[in-house]
Structure 1
């Protein structure tokens, strides 16, 4: 069995939180808070964690901070660690070849630091190029060659800097030996999500949902694993949906999916980039991250009313849990 097949077997049917990166008001990473958060997350029933992902602002972090973030998670969890690999924010305006080289270098660095797999961010500029599909496929090949790790392709919605992969590109990526699966995060574009899942049917690859706002439906459409930002604060709530679906518990799936949807409504809404701050607020409410380390310097400013809405949702869910106990 290859390393790619072994990893797919370990991850299938599990939840991988796209974990947060605690920061203070100045934007500095709070590594003491990160370690406590990582230790708490390690106690959850999860299949692994995704670091340097969009939720953790991986492409915004300085290289030294990225290194320390991955080291903390590698020490804290005895589970697969998937690291994002893409174009750092500082190089978004660089020539395309240089940007692609930076993504490959990030993947190689993740391997050196002990990551078990890499998730390749889409390069948005590929979308408009006549040879964009060729360049995207080659980027994934280069990442696999440089890192020596299993690879996840990553369909990321445009609001987060990505673009929808055409079904032909999905199939092409899944033909590469190092590709363990495809992660789909289209936000609210049901057709794009369905098209990607249909393109991957029958390949044996991991079909990973990143659909925080379409989580339950994406499982019904064929996803079998989850790598989502919504699990960064509510891993148990997210896992309950996947577990019920996998077990064929229709009634349990409806209940769990409805509860997760209510939390998603309070956290994944316009402006969508505000979801990171909303998840940080949720993590504070849960006691996973301290107030002084719950700042997202890269998202839009949000009114206090949004925090109150997040907290009110969490309190209602907790009250229901108490009533059901």
Structure 2
């Protein structure tokens, strides 16, 4: 078992945002300050290049600089999301796998401790997609030299449902730390995935921003979530209450987290990145001029008011 399994078990890993200006240029001064503030919180690690950080949209140079900034800010384990960049010209599954490996090699060169493999959604439609998914993870591990986190990602974000058999086969790989579920609102899929991992000794990682508390009751033991990109204590308190057996505290903390999630994770779901950026501004983690998400849908001003009103109520 890789030592990171026990190091990360029971901890929170925020999937961090990437501060950008209104033109979509990464604001590195703001990123440096954000990294310093976030890593002062009680976290076990963090995830860069994930969906929340728009990792697949960043240029290779920006990806390297973003990882470098976080690596310089902290000694906690860094998990880097790797997949097919939006700028890639991959036309086949082989080319998509090549692009994923290239990104993993970049993560290894930049000092990441592990990689989280974005799913190739086309595999879900193929008769041998299961075998190809396992082979992709084996190749990424072999060529990058890094341990892996599997990533069951909902379809709205470009993923597909991993069946329990695939979860079990992925977790059987020596290189695998665990599997993260991010099913959005699919309670059955989340339960089945977590239950498939029971008894493996690997990490059962929740990425369920809208089913955060329930996912621990179903068996998740670690968290890697975009909702922790701001207001870290809201997520951390739920996890710590659960792991300590403080069930009354868990219910209270879950209610608070759920209220924040309801104000940030809803349709259009891709708008959650912008809503989390607004929350980070309110908290003082990033400045207003670095709080733009150029890759999400346009949102009405009233949605920001919902986020701020929720934060004011939770912090009153």
Instruction: Check if 1:83 corresponds to 2:80.
Output: yes
| Residue 290 (structure 1) aligns with | 287
Instruction: Check if 1:120 corresponds to 2:126.
Output: no
Write the deviation string for residues 287-306 of structure 1: whole angstroms up to 9, x where unpaired.
Answer: 00100000000000000000
Matches within 5 A, 1:101-250: 101-250=98-247
Write the deviation string for residues 128-167 of structure 1: whole angstroms up to 9, x where unpaired.
Answer: 1111111110110011001111100000000100011011
Match of 1:59 among 28, 49, 56: 56
| Residue 94 (structure 1) aligns with | 91
Instruction: Check if 1:262 corresponds to 2:259.
Output: yes
**Quick check: 2:270–2:296 contact (8 Å CA) kept in 1?**
yes
| Residue 323 (structure 1) aligns with | none
**Quick check: 2:90–2:99 contact (8 Å CA) kept in 1?**
no
Shift of 1:91: 2.5
Inter-partner Cα distance in structure 1 for 2:298 and 2:138: 38
Instruction: Check if 1:9 corresponds to 2:20.
Output: no
Q: In angstroms, what is the RMSD of aligned CA positions?
A: 0.8
Inter-partner Cα distance in structure 1 for 2:20 and 2:288: 10
Name the SS for the 2:115 alignment partner.
strand
Inter-partner Cα distance in structure 1 for 2:138 and 2:89: 21
Shift of 1:94: 2.1
Give unpaired runs (5+ residues) of structure 1. Answer: 320-325
Inter-partner Cα distance in structure 2 for 1:94 and 1:166: 26
Name the SS for the 2:98 alignment partner.
helix
Q: TM-score, normalised by structure 2?
A: 0.99
Shift of 1:99: 1.0
Name the SS for the 1:208 alignment partner.
strand
| Residue 37 (structure 1) aligns with | 34
Aligned length: 316
- 123-132 vs 56-65, greater mean Cα deviation: 123-132
**Quick check: 1:12–1:206 contact (8 Å CA) kept in 2?**
yes
Inter-partner Cα distance in structure 2 for 1:40 and 1:209: 23
| Residue 251 (structure 1) aligns with | 248
Q: TM-score, normalised by structure 1?
A: 0.96
Shift of 1:262: 0.1
Shift of 1:237: 0.8
Match of 1:73 among 70, 74, 87: 70
Shift of 1:93: 5.5
Name the SS for the 2:16 alignment partner.
coil
Name the SS for the 2:56 alignment partner.
coil
**Quick check: 1:105–1:146 contact (8 Å CA) kept in 2?**
no
Hey, which bits of structure 1, 4+ residues long, moved more than 3 A? Answer: none
Name the SS for the 1:122 alignment partner.
coil
**Quick check: 1:84–1:118 contact (8 Å CA) kept in 2?**
yes
